[in-house]
Every structure is written in C-alpha cells, then in structure tokens.
Amino acid sequence: EDQVTQSPEALRLQEGESSSLNCSYTVSGLRGLFWYRQDPGKGPEFLFTLYSAGEEKEKERLKATLTKKESFLHITAPKPEDSATYLCAVRSTDSWGKFQFGAGTQVVVTP
Amino acid sequence: DTGVSQNPRHKITKRGQNVTFRCDPISEHNRLYWYRQTLGQGPEFLTYFQNEAQLEKSRLLSDRFSAERPKGSFSTLEIQRTEQGDSAMYLCASSLNLAGGYFGPGTRLTVT
C-alpha cells in the first residue's frame, strides 16, 4: 500500500530563517506528488505538482523538489504569513484516482 | 471560476440522525473527490468520481456512507445513523483528469 511520511511534525522558525520540509513516499509507481498549504479551519490550498525525479517548482518563497524516494519543500526567508500546515500527497499507479496524504508539517514563523 | 463550494459549512447533529452534504466542483473538472479530516491528521480518502461514475471507495468506508454525482455535476455525501466517531471535517475536491485537486472549504460535522 502507498505510504507518505512527512517530517518534521512541527517546525518553528524565526522570520527570515530558511528551512526545508521532507515528504518521503513509498508507491508502486508515482503518478504525481502534490504539495498543499492548509490554514486552520480551511480546505487545503493547492501549491505544486511534481511528476518526475529532478523536477523543481517555485512560487514566491517556496520551492519544491523531487527525487525517486522523497520530496522537499524549501521555504526561503519565511514571513509570518507562511505559517500554516503543509501537506504532501501522492497519486500512484495502484490507484489512479485518489491522493494519498501525509499527516502534514505544521510551520510557525515568528516575527 | 468560483472554486469548489461546499454546503453546509457547519452541521451539528444528534447521534443516529442522517446528514447530507453537497459539493459543487469547478465547472470544467471531470473528477470529484471526498475526503475526511480529523484534527492533526492529513485528509483521508473516502471516494472519487470521474464524471458520474463512482470509480473507487475506501475500504474503510462503512455502508453508512454513500455518495452520488448525478449527471457528473454536483455531488452529495450522505451519512446514515451518524456516530460520534463521524465527527470530522468533510472535504470535497475536484480536478481536471490527473492534475492536482482543488479543495473546497469543507463541512465541519459535529455529532453529539
């Protein structure tokens, strides 16, 4: 069965202190890795899709990268408004339909 | 494009009652997904549709849960004989084929 593990569970950063979140996955065949941001009490907000190892995507202070076993979400010079839970999900060849989510990394950025 | 909408946003019900939630996807999206999320956890897959066909259901989904997507447009999720363990945020998402899914704001269910 597909598995997605995110680390760390929680991360506290000072404003401007860059860091990376990890998403490790085990799938039979990857058909997409997806990053989302979720604010408390709201639905996840789509950020990126990555399909193949070596691929990178950027949006403002966020950059996502993908290898054959894991993905990283790099947060460069974070601001307090980057505080959120970041979720990683995979779609695999075992189940073309569903997104299998990890538990998320809760990020708090303090001024 | 108004995004994915869900109604109601909040529902409080007594144990044993039936509840129904509605999801309106992004209009051109052919896939629709239902997820459930509890505090501190990632979303848990329930079921998904491609157009009007329900293609996959979670093995964890009891027969008290049923979903429909008539005519491939909006979808409803019904929970019969609710239990306290059903309390959660119910999320709907839609996508165009295998692209990333766009989520709605969710329906928070509280079973008392």
Which residue has tokens 């949006």?
A59
Among A5, A101, A106, which would you mutate to test the B interface (most chain B Cβ atoms within 10 Å of its Cβ)? A101
Q: Is the minimum CB–CB distance between B67 and chain A shorter than 8 Å?
A: no
Q: How far is residue A54's CA from residue A58's CA, in Å, rounded to a whole number?
A: 13
Count of CB atoms within 10 A of residue B38's CB? 12
Contacts (Cβ under 8 Å, ≥6 apart) of B65: B46, B47, B77, B78, B79, B80
Q: Name the minimum distance, in Å, from the CA of B40 to any CA of chain A.
A: 7
CA B55 to chain centre: 14
B contacts of A100 (beta carbons < 8 Å): 45
**Record: contact B42-A102, CB cut-off 8 A:** yes
Q: Is the minimum CB–CB distance between B25 and chain A shorter than 8 Å?
A: no
User: In 3-state terms, what secondary structure has residue A111?
Assistant: coil
Q: How far is residue B81's CA from residue B49's CA, in Å, rounded to a whole number?
A: 24
Give the pLDDT confidence of B16-62 residue by residue, as tens digits: 999 999 999 999 999 999 999 999 999 999 999 999 999 999 987 78
At B13 the pLDDT is 98
Say if residue A33's pLDDT is above 80: yes
At A71 the pLDDT is 98
- Given pLDDT bands bounded at 50, 70 and 90, which one contains residue A94? confident
Contact B37, B98 (CB under 8 A): no
Q: Cα dihedral sign for A54, A58, A61, A62?
A: negative
Say if residue A2's pLDDT is above 90: no
B contacts of A48 (beta carbons < 8 Å): 100
CA-closest candidate to residue A107, choices A36, A9, A35, A1: A9
Q: B47 to chain A: nearest residue by CA?
A: A98
Q: How far is residue B65's CA from residue B35's CA, in Å, rounded to a whole number?
A: 12
CA-closest candidate to residue A80, choices A49, A102, A107, A53: A107
Give the pLDDT confidence of A34-88 residue by residue, as tens digits: 999 999 999 999 999 999 999 999 999 999 999 999 999 999 999 999 999 999 9
- Given pLDDT bands bounded at 50, 70 and 90, which one contains residue B1? low
Exposed / middle / buried, residue A92 (Cβ in 10 Å: 0-12, 13-18, 19+)? buried
At B32 the pLDDT is 96
Q: Name the minimum distance, in Å, from the CA of A45 to any CA of chain B.
A: 7
What mean pLDDT do residues A20-31 have? 94
Bridge partners for A76 per DSSP: none
Contact A11, A107 (CB under 8 A): yes
